[in-house]
Amino acid sequence: MGSPNNRGYKRSWRNLLLNTRYQLRFTLVMVGLSAVLMAVLGWWVMRAAEKATTVAMDAVLGVQCKAPERPGAEPTVVIDEPIVDPEADPDPDPDPEADADPDPDARPPVIVNIVEEKVPPPPVSVNAVARYHLCKIQQVSTIERLYRGEWRIFLVLVVSGLALCFGLAVYGIKMTHKVAGPLHKVGLYFAKMKANKYDTVYNLRKGDQLVDFYAHFKEAHEGMRKIETEDVEMLRDLIAAADAAKVGDSSPDAAKALDELREILKTKEDAIGP
């Protein structure tokens, strides 16, 4: 509970928009401006990120992973041991005329057994294979990391843009509410003053803005109330003196003016209360 000058008003989300025009205009323009700035910044950031990603990818793909050298499995000719047939005719030519003069230097025929077979290549170095695959894996993972980085930037951009707009909207409404609240309160007192009611002016709620402004208003209210009080005192004295001097009996104009002063006095007494 508040003190006599401090009524326990509590903030409620239902009355956050007290001065809709001022609050929404202020907040929406601020949010709109931030959204435009974020969009421009975001466009530039994404362009820079995309460029960086492309450059990095080109650099990664520009490196040729050294493939392990693996000789092909070529057919290999293997000559087996020659097989010499001792019983074979060294000159199998059936031409009898030729046999008439046999060559003394003629060698016995040799049967050559030619076997054609694929010989397995020499084993490739395990380290070379591992290096090759590691290089490829590194390339792929670097590219993936770059894409992930770009995607993360985009996500952060979208989330922070939304957070900025939402944060500014909430902050804008809340802050303008802290301004609109005192203004609303002062507006209610204005209506009372206009209706010639000078009630007690209560303090602002905790956290409200415009504390200095409100202090000025309180002084103004007090000043006007003081004038009303002085008027009441002056009119009471004047009417009492006029009644004592029987002014009403002396002149109808003075009597009429005195009645008017009595009405004014009554209004002023009602205005300041007991």
Partner 1 sequence: MAHSKHRHKHRRHLSNYILDKRLQLRYVAFVTILSALLSGVLGYLVWQQENSATQNIVNTLEASDYDADLKNEVVAELSGRDSNLVLVMLGAGIGMVLVLSLYLIVMTHKVAGPLYKVSKYFDEMAEGKLSEVWPLRKGDQLKDFYDKFKDMHDTLRARHVEEVAALGSFVEACEAAGIGGPGEFGHKLDEVKSYRAKRREQVA
Report 76-115 residues binding partner 1 (CB under 8 A).
none
Single residue of 85, 196, 197, 206 touching partner 1 by CB under 8 A: 196
Q: Interacting stretch for partner 1, rule CB under 8 A, among 94-102, 106-114, 116-124, 248-256?
A: 248-256
Crossing angle of helices 20-62 and 126-194, in 10° steps, is 170
Q: Interacting stretch for partner 1, rule CB under 8 A, among 72-80, 99-107, 112-120, 220-228?
A: 220-228
Calpha distance 251→80 (Å, rounded): 163
- The 3-state DSSP class for residue 114 equals strand
Residues 168-187 that bind partner 1 (CB under 8 A): 168, 171, 175, 179, 183, 186-187
Single residue of 257, 266, 270, 273 touching partner 1 by CB under 8 A: 257
229 belongs to the binding site for partner 1 (CB under 8 A): no
Find, among 224, 222, 223, 236, the residue nearest to 264 by Cα.
236
155: tokens are: 């996500």
235: tokens are: 């009119």
Q: Which residues contact 150 (CB under 8 A, 6 or more apart)?
A: 49, 50, 53
Which residue is it, tokens 């980085």?
A: 149
Q: Interacting stretch for partner 1, rule CB under 8 A, among 78-86, 94-102, 199-207, 225-233?
A: 225-233
Single residue of 39, 48, 67, 98 touching partner 1 by CB under 8 A: 48
Total of chain residues touching partner 1, rule CB under 8 A = 81
Calpha distance 112→117 (Å, rounded): 16
Calpha distance 37→42 (Å, rounded): 8
Rounded to the nearest 5°, which phi and psi values hold at 23?
-65, -45
Single residue of 9, 142, 199, 205 touching partner 1 by CB under 8 A: 142
Give 110 or 227: the residue with its C-beta nearer to partner 1: 227
Give 119 or 170: the residue with its C-beta nearer to partner 1: 170
Which residue is it, tokens 């421009």?
A: 40
55 belongs to the binding site for partner 1 (CB under 8 A): yes
Q: How far is the CB of 76 from partner 1 (least distance, A)?
A: 37
165 belongs to the binding site for partner 1 (CB under 8 A): no
Give 88 or 170: the residue with its C-beta nearer to partner 1: 170
